Amino acid sequence: LCPCLIYGAYIFLPFDAPLLPTVSARLVYTLRCASFATFPIVLGMIVSGISRLCSSALEPFGELHQEVEIHRTYVSQSVHLFILYFFNMAVLATYLPQELLKLIPLLTGLFAISRLIFWMSYAIGRSFRAFGFSMTFLPLLAMLLWNLYGMFVLEPENLLS
């Protein structure tokens, strides 16, 4: 489903990436796009704080109830995945040709939407969360494989430069 979503958005959404000739401009563009991917994480932190505040626990720092634990786990996992996603997107932006830089905001949007889907499905039941997690993890894995291919096959002479 992820390749179909990315391909459809790439073809049908009417925007293009700005002209980014240098690596530093591409990294700034990636950083700016990645800031939008933090929206689900910040929203999860807000909901986690509200649920902890409204919890019926006698001791606020004691054992957490399930409704608080769901949000805390979601935020923790999302932060870990965001770090991996961001570093892979930053490396990907250095290898992509100019005409494919449109993928950076599309991958960012996919990350944000898939984390929200994971959060909703995680709250519904643990058996449904695999869909949202796979929508986050499989593009991450594809980016990692492309980055390794780019580093070791396409440009092995520039590996450390």
Q: Which two tokens stand for residue 55?
A: 């919890």
Residue at token pair 């999302």 = 78
Enter the CATH code of domain 23-159. 1.20.120
pLDDT along the chain (161 residues), means of 10: 81 82 90 92 90 68 70 90 94 88 91 91 78 88 90 75 61
Cβ(5)–Cβ(117) below 8 Å = no
Enumerate the domain spans of the chain.
Answer: 23-159
Cβ(55)–Cβ(67) below 8 Å = yes
pLDDT at 61: 58
pLDDT at 145: 93
In this structure, the chain runs to a length of 161
> Number of helices and strands (H, E) in the chain?
6, 0
pLDDT at 41: 93
pTM: predicted TM-score of the whole model, two decimal places: 0.84
Residue from 113, 110, 119 nearest 4 by CA: 110
**CA 142 – CA 92 distance, rounded (Å):** 11
**Torsion angle (degrees, nearest 10) of CA 157, 141, 109, 152:** 10
pLDDT at 65: 72
